[in-house]
Amino acid sequence: MQKIVITGGPGTGKTTIINELERIGYACMHEISRKVTTMARKNGIEQLFLKEPLLFSKLLLEGRISQYQESLKINAEYVFFDRGIPDVHAYMNYMGINYPKIYIDESKKKTYNTIFLMPPWEAIYITDSERYESFEQALAIHNHLKNTYELLNYKTIEVPVGNVTQRVDFILKSLI
């Protein structure tokens, strides 16, 4: 089984791609940051990532490790992840936050086969109650993600802009 990460800054179309891959029959692990944010809001914290970034990141790390381990039980040729474990410390690097070594250690222990990087695309970029970054911030996050994966010795494959079908076709053809 190959573990495939779809990553990129906010608003690049990752979730749309994951949803389409799942719709056509592929095993997918969905992004968990919105779930963590929603749980925090129920506990009275509007933006956990901004208020307590280490707690938010710890919850993401735990959730992504859990997803990774869950994926090992799936009987499929490919499992697609909406973000990978390294995304957690890439975001902390972007924010300039010091973090424990466990983030990098877990990224080195739990590896993926292929990393697809979704580039910032201003034409589709929107903000919402969970996505508060400006487009310029999304560009900076993109660079941190690319650098983080490359420092972990991954070759990232940039997915060209296009409609959902074109992007999914590109991803699937790149895996052959």
Segment 153-168, tens digit of pLDDT: 999 999 999 999 999 9
Give the domains, in start order, of the chain with CATH numbers: 2-175 (3.40.50.300)
Tens-place pLDDT, residues 25-43 = 999 999 987 776 677 667 7
Instruction: Return the pLDDT at 136.
Output: 77
Nearest CA-CA partner of 153 in 113, 120, 101: 113
Distance between alpha carbon 18 and the CA centroid of its chain, in Å? 11
Question: Which secondary-structure segment (H or E) carries 58?
Answer: helix 53-71
Q: What is the pTM of this model?
A: 0.89
Tokens of 127: 């903000």
pLDDT of res. 59 = 84
